[in-house]
């Protein structure tokens, strides 16, 4: 069957319902007009040619006919043929005798409802054929233009996903092994507020909300016990450098995260081909950025906090200020987390972004910049292709550009973090709370 016939068939199917009713009426009319309409258009034998009784192939020019009568009707109409019956103009047309009397055969065609308006002209046929060919070509072109992830690119993604899953535990079960979080007590300070209790009532200014959750009493006792704090504590946002109660816990958390980032980096395709010196240079400068990036997984827009299991491991801005960081870092950091969260990245995009961030050739101390660049380029290409073929609209709009902008944001966050870290680690009483790994990666001002 030709494409045209296919297409025509579809068209006919579409009008079949209407035509069913029409031909039903016509066949009823035919029954009254013709002497022996017996089996014709019987519901039980619907695939019978209404003209000659041969096996019908469907509706043609508005009636159920065989291919022979379809062709006969079309030819007769095109030729504008005038036939005369050599007999009595009442020949009974059958499959075997249908060639004997063209006049009665055509009359029968018209009687059962065949209409010349349904015949396409040669130009129409040609136009239709061209349209179908054109549409097919356009579809083929579209399909060939559509970017596809190569097998190798898909493999890179799979490796990165695996690397991330091996180094990021979404249950945060290891957090209990860190030195415990100690939240300084203040009536103005954000505490380990229960989001369930405070959410909704004060979500607009949660940073200044004191939670009346049951935990706060327990927690006050805990912090009093641990720090023996008095009530004349400085306002929450001032960094009281002698009371960095969250520092031990967060130092352990950061140290743990650095280990995981190293584990992840080592699994990035090509990373281990770099010299040890370059690997270290990349890790040292990107570690804090990757920690900020990966922490987005625990960040929630509902309570603007990093939730890592229970209230104990739920970190608000104020908790980080109690580890020695000021709002100059934390405000843009939270803004960054919100912006990143709103991109709704697929896990594939998230891990690719981390890989691209680590493999930045412009980090200080990198020797073989061209090798790092080529590795980063490869990941960027995978990311762009991934977005093109896997990220549906409208989320994909300018997504790559937005992600690259996030890398720029991370650079300034990194810079601010370094500044604040230097200030903090300059004091021995604080740097002694840090871990050897943190000191090695972020620098040790004392030694
Ligand atoms: Zn027929
Ligand atoms: Zn005849």
- Domain co-membership, 114 together with 182: no
- Does position 197 have pLDDT exceeding 60, yes or no? no
**Same domain (yes/no): 208, 324:** yes
- Per-residue pLDDT, 446: 56
Mean pLDDT, rounded, for 286-299: 98
| Residue 71 alpha carbon to ligand 1 centre in Å | 9
DSSP state of 148: -
Same domain, 113 and 168: no
Q: Which CATH number is 382's domain given? A: 1.10.565.10
Ligand having the closest approach to the CA of 83: 2
Q: What is the pLDDT of residue 242?
A: 56
pLDDT at 121: 83
Residues 64 and 182 in one domain: no
CA of 72 from ligand 1 middle (Å) equals 9
For residues 356 and 438, membership in a common domain is answered with yes
Q: Is residue 26 part of a domain?
A: yes
Same domain for 358 and 261: yes
Measured CA to CA, the distance from residue 32 to residue 259 in angstroms comes to: 93
Q: What is the pLDDT of residue 122?
A: 82
Is residue 146 a part of any domain in this protein? no
Q: Are 421 and 433 in contact (CB under 8 A)?
A: no
**Ligand 1: centre distance to CA 70 (Å):** 7
- What span, in angstroms and rounded, lies between the C-alpha atoms of 323 and 317? 10
**Residues 162 and 94 reside in one and the same domain:** no
CATH value at residue 21: 3.30.50.10
Same domain, 22 and 130: yes
d(CA 235, CA 211): 16
Lowest mean pLDDT among 88-92, 202-206, 431-435: 202-206
Crossing angle of the two packed helices 347-358 and 247-267, in degrees rounded to 10: 90
Q: Which residues contact 9 (CB under 8 A, 6 or more apart)?
A: 1, 58
Which ligand minimizes its atom distance to the CA of 103? Answer: 2
Report if residue 411 sits inside a domain. yes
Mean pLDDT score of the chain, rounded to an integer?
A: 82
Weakest-pLDDT range from 78-87, 298-307, 363-372: 78-87
Would residue 91 count as lying in a domain? yes
On whether residue 143 sits in a domain, the answer given is: no
Q: Which ligand is closest to the CA of 63, given by its number?
A: 1
Q: Are 87 and 101 in contact (CB under 8 A)?
A: yes
pLDDT score recorded for residue 282 = 98
Q: Please name the residues in contact with 345: beta carbons below 8 A apart, sequence gap of 6 or more.
A: 353, 403
Distance (Å, whole) CA 255 – CA 252: 5
The verdict on 267 and 218 lying in the same domain is yes
**Burial category of 447 from C-beta neighbours within 10 Å (exposed 0-12, middle 13-18, buried 19 and up):** exposed
Q: Which residues pair with residue 305 across a beta bridge?
A: 300
pLDDT in tens, 309-327: 989 999 999 999 999 999 9
pLDDT at 406: 98
Whether residues 211 and 314 fall in one domain: yes
Number of H helices, E strands in the chain: 16, 5
Considering the domain architecture, whether residues 125 and 165 belong to the same structural domain is answered as: no
- Between 7 and 112, where is the model more confident? 112
Does some domain include residue 145? no
- pTM comes to 0.62
**pLDDT tens digits along 207-248:** 333 333 333 333 333 333 333 333 344 444 444 445 799 999
What protein residues have CB closer than 5 angstroms to ion ligand 2? 85, 87, 91, 101, 104
Q: What separation in Å is there between the alpha carbon of 49 and the centre of ligand 1?
A: 5
pLDDT at site 125: 87
Interval between CA 109 and ligand 1 midpoint (Å): 9
Mean pLDDT within 328-333: 97
Long-range contacts of 74-79 (CB under 8 A, 24+ apart): 74/119, 76/102, 76/106, 76/109, 77/116, 77/119, 78/119
Please confirm whether the linkage preceding 394 is cis (ω < 30° from 0).
Answer: yes
Asked if residue 3 has pLDDT above 80, the reply is no
Inside any domain, residue 206: yes
Q: How far is the CA of 117 from the centre of ligand 1 (A)?
A: 19
- CB-based contact 291:183 (threshold 8 Å): no
Q: Copy the structure tokens of residue 174.
A: 């290891």
The confidence score (pLDDT) of residue 108 equals 97
Across the range 377-384, mean pLDDT stands at 98
pLDDT band of residue 344 (cuts 50, 70, 90) is very high
Same domain assignment for residues 127 and 190: no
Domain boundary among 104, 138, 172: 138
Residue 350 has pLDDT above 80, yes or no: yes
Say what the pLDDT of residue 445 is: 60
Domain boundary among 114, 138, 162: 138
User: Which pLDDT score, from 0 to 100, does residue 290 have?
Assistant: 98
Which pLDDT value is given to residue 40?
41
Distance in Å, CA 20 to ligand 2 centroid: 28
- How many domains does one find in the chain? 2
For residue 236, the model assigns a pLDDT of 44
Number of the ligand closest to the Cα of 92: 2
73 CA from centroid of ligand 1 (Å): 10
CA dist 405 and 335 (Å) reads 13
The pLDDT-based confidence of 123 (bands split at 50, 70, 90) is confident
**61 φ/ψ sector (left φ>0, alpha ψ -120 to 50, else beta):** left
Question: What's the rounded Cα separation, in Å, for the pair 111 and 100?
Answer: 18
Q: Per the domain annotation, does 12 fall within a domain? A: yes
Q: What is the rounded CA–CA span in Å between residue 355 and residue 289?
A: 11
Range of the domain at 381: 152-442
Give the whole-angstrom CA distance, residue 285 versus residue 70.
79
Q: What is the DSSP letter of 43?
A: T
Minimum mean pLDDT among 27-31, 59-63, 330-334: which range?
A: 27-31
């Amino acid at each position: 069957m030709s494409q045209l016939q296919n297409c025509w068939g579809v068209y006919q199917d579409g009008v079949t319902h209407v035509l069913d009713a029409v031909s039903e009426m016509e066949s009823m009319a035919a029954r009254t007009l013709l002497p022996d309409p017996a089996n014709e258009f019987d519901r039980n034998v619907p695939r019978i040619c209404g003209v000659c009784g041969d096996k019908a192939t469907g509706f043609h020019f508005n009636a159920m006919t065989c291919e022979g009568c379809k062709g006969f009707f079309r030819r007769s109409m095109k030729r504008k043929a005038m036939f005369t019956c050599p007999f009595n103009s009442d020949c009974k047309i059958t499959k075997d005798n249908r060639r004997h009397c063209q006049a009665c055969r055509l009359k029968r065609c018209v009687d059962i409802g065949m209409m010349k308006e349904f015949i396409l002209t040669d130009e129409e046929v040609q136009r239709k054929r061209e349209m179908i060919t054109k549409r097919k070509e356009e579809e083929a072109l579209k399909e060939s233009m559509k970017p596809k992830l190569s097998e190798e690119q898909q493999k890179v993604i799979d490796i990165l996903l695996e690397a991330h899953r091996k180094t990021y535990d979404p249950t945060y079960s290891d957090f209990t092994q860190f030195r415990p979080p100690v939240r300084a007590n203040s009536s103005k300070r954000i505490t380990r507020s229960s989001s369930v209790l405070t959410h909704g009532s004060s979500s607009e200014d949660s940073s200044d909300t004191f939670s009346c959750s049951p935990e706060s009493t327990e927690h006050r006792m805990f912090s009093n016990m641990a720090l023996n704090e008095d009530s004349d504590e400085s306002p929450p946002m001032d960094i009281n450098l002698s009371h960095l109660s969250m520092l031990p816990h967060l130092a352990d958390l950061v140290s743990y995260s650095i280990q995981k980032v190293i584990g992840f980096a080592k699994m990035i395709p090509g990373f281990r081909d770099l010299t040890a010196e370059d690997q270290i240079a990349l890790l040292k400068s990107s570690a804090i950025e990757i920690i900020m990036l990966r922490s987005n997984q625990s960040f929630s827009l509902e309570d603007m906090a990093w939730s890592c299991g229970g209230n104990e491991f739920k970190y608000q801005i104020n908790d980080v200020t109690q580890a020695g960081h000021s709002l100059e870092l934390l405000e843009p950091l939270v803004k960054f987390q919100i912006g990143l969260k709103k991109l709704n990245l697929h896990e594939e995009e998230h891990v690719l972004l981390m890989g691209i961030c680590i493999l930045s050739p412009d980090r200080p101390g990198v020797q073989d910049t061209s090798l790092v660049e080529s590795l980063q380029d490869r990941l960027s290409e995978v990311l762009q292709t991934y977005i093109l073929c896997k990220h549906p609209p409208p989320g994909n709009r300018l997504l790559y550009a937005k992600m690259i902008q996030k890398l720029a944001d991370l650079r300034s966050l990194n810079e601010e973090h370094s500044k604040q870290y230097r200030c903090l680690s300059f004091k021995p009483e604080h740097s002694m709370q840090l871990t050897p790994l943190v000191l090695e990666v972020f620098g040790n001002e004392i030694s």
